Amino acid sequence: MNDEEVAKRLDLCLMEVVESFKLFDSKDERIKKLNIVRSLEHIGEQWVRELANDQRLTHRLNDKAGLCRLLVQGSTALGISSRSGDIDAVLLVPNFVDRDDFFTSFPSWLRKSRDISELAAVPDTFVPLIRIKVSGIQVDLVISRLATSYIPQQLDFEQTPGDLYRNMDAISVRSLSGLHLAHELNKMMFGHAHFLPLLRVIRTWVRARAIGSYVYGFPASIAWTIMVVYICRRLGDNSQISTFCVCRRSSVCRNSEPAAERNSGEESLASRSHALFCLVYTFFAQFASWPWPHPVQIASIKFASDLNIFSWDPQRNAQDGRDLMPILTPVFPNKNAAFTVRQATRKIVTDELIRARDIVSDVLRGSGTWEKLFERYDLRDDHRHFLLLTLQTTSKEELVVVGGLIDSRLRDLAQALEDEQYIRSARIAPIQESPEANQSNASCKQLRRQWLIGMDIESAPRLPDGTRSRRNVDITGCLSTFYQILRERDAFTDFGEKLTHVYLNRSQAMQLIL
């Protein structure tokens, strides 16, 4: 086989492994999600029309402008939504709609739909949202209140930030910037043949290695996407042949003389286009040696001081300067999509990137397999000490709201544990409920959610006889601080009663389903 045939074979084998995980939506599933968005938009139109009637503002409505628009963001907007993934959507409303209406009257309209089985309003978060389940699919709805009395048919994201976001509140800006971000990434990668395949590879790897949850201290999904865009722009369009490029290596394409010793008239694969496996290797090699905290950046940082909304700027904001792994979004307000990363989780990510780089190197030498790259990580293999947290509630709404709060603050507990003298790292994993547990909980009218935290505790020094003494680590202070953080954010929930904790050893932890 020639170079091109071998490259195609490597790429085909890689994508066959990725597709075997069945992580991403089929065409039918994408259509189902699109229909859900359309049905929710129709409910939104009815709701906005009622508000306009109540305020006697029907004269502002016309056929050329919509009452509202529901647009998807995130993975769905990029065309790479996962089968177990949520729909992240932004409801654009005119300026006569108040944010409070979104959390008071709009849920009443949503509950009229037979397809909506669960609904929880979460107004007190960084980006307030309504979380619903429609036909079995979770939808996170946020609202963006435009400065106009109508919704334009097309949003002009080519405007300056000052024009695009003028007279909008900060929460609406954050919601609308999510749409802007998806638009910008799609524009950057338009026509790039390897963008979505590379993104599928990286998403599958991130999921398998359990390093994709930003609430637990890892880069957010959008951060990994930005890293993929960085590699595609640097290498994929052939404008720059990176030192990490492996397309020309004889060990990759054929076992023969090095590329430099071939006939000078022979056209190399790399001179025509980069193979997908080359981008995969470059991704891992580039970021395994990335000089953190130097930021990953795919566009210039934009500022609009007149809006009193600020982009990532270490000179202005000391907290930005303390970020350990800055991966910057390309639209205003530019933010670090990996702001939750801690010292311990950055080391985990770096170690995983090094592992992946070495595995891909073995594959390209013919001594490794793609399957090994995607081996599922289990924190019980790396830890001997565990903390099990259990939340019990009596309603699904409470489980969603209180469980979401706990989920979002567990990294505070992990950081507190890591600040202890002998705990090197604390890694969080959600626990899947078994069918037996669900049936048992239903019989006693209790709903349950659990988390497992693996603690890497430094061993005690050896004694003269060669044995080790028992290392005693007191984490009661860490737990007390964590419970206090929860109470400060929700004074109405008795966390002391509803959230319990217990120590587990490895054999006990192995009984759980992760």
The CATH number covering residue 174 comes to 3.30.460.10
Would residue 53 count as lying in a domain? yes
Q: With residue 138 as reference, give the H or E element that holds it.
A: strand 137-145
C-beta of residue 151 within 8 angstroms of C-beta of residue 69 = yes
Encode 338-373: b = buried (16+ Cβ within 10 Å), e = exposed. Answer: bbbbbebbbebbbebbebbbebbbebbeeeeebeeb
d(CA 215, CA 304): 29
* Domain end residue (candidates: 137, 154, 188): 188
**32 and 11 belong to one structural domain:** no
In angstroms, the Cα distances linking 304 to 145, 169, 370 are 19, 14, 46
**39 and 142 belong to one structural domain:** yes
Q: What are phi and psi of 151, to 5 degrees?
A: -110, 115
pLDDT computed for residue 39 by the predictor: 97
* Domain end residue (candidates: 356, 373, 407): 356
Would residue 363 count as lying in a domain? no
Q: What is the CATH number of the domain that holds 299?
A: 1.10.1410.10
Strand partners, 285: none
Within 13 Å and on the Cβ side, how many CA atoms surround 462?
Answer: 4
Please name the residues in contact with 200: beta carbons below 8 A apart, sequence gap of 6 or more. 15, 18, 23, 24, 80
**202 and 345 belong to one structural domain:** yes
Would residue 497 count as lying in a domain? yes
**248 and 213 belong to one structural domain:** yes
Would residue 264 count as lying in a domain? no
Would residue 373 count as lying in a domain? no
Q: Would you give the end-to-end CA distance of the chain in angstroms?
A: 43
pLDDT computed for residue 23 by the predictor: 95
Would residue 132 count as lying in a domain? yes
**198 and 156 belong to one structural domain:** no
3-state secondary structure of 110: helix
pLDDT computed for residue 181 by the predictor: 97
C-beta of residue 30 within 8 angstroms of C-beta of residue 82 = no
pLDDT, tens only, 26-70: 999 999 999 999 999 999 999 999 999 888 876 666 655 678 999
**What's the number of domains the chain is made of?**
3
C-beta of residue 229 within 8 angstroms of C-beta of residue 188 = yes
**331 and 202 belong to one structural domain:** yes
The pTM (predicted TM-score) of the whole model is: 0.91
**50 and 175 belong to one structural domain:** yes
Would residue 377 count as lying in a domain? no
Q: Which domain, by its residues, includes 172? A: 27-188
Would residue 64 count as lying in a domain? yes
C-alpha 347: how far from chain center = 18
pLDDT computed for residue 66 by the predictor: 76
**178 and 311 belong to one structural domain:** no
**227 and 278 belong to one structural domain:** yes
pLDDT computed for residue 412 by the predictor: 98
Bridge-based pairing of strands 423-431 and 129-134 is: unpaired
* DSSP secondary structure code for residue 333 in this structure: S
**43 and 139 belong to one structural domain:** yes
pLDDT, tens only, 406-440: 999 999 999 999 999 999 999 999 998 754 555 55
**202 and 61 belong to one structural domain:** no
Burial tier of 461 (Cβ tally within 10 Å: 0-12, 13-18, 19+): exposed
Q: How many CB atoms lie within 10 A of CB 74?
A: 23
3-state secondary structure of 511: coil
Among 8, 6, 108, 98, CA closest to 54: 98
Mean pLDDT score across all residues of the chain: 89
* Domain end residue (candidates: 356, 373, 393): 356
**44 and 184 belong to one structural domain:** yes
Q: What is the CATH number of the domain that holds 401?
A: 3.30.70.590
List, for the chain, all residue ranges whose pLDDT scores fall below the cut of 50: 239, 250, 253-272, 435
Amino acid letter, residue 433: E
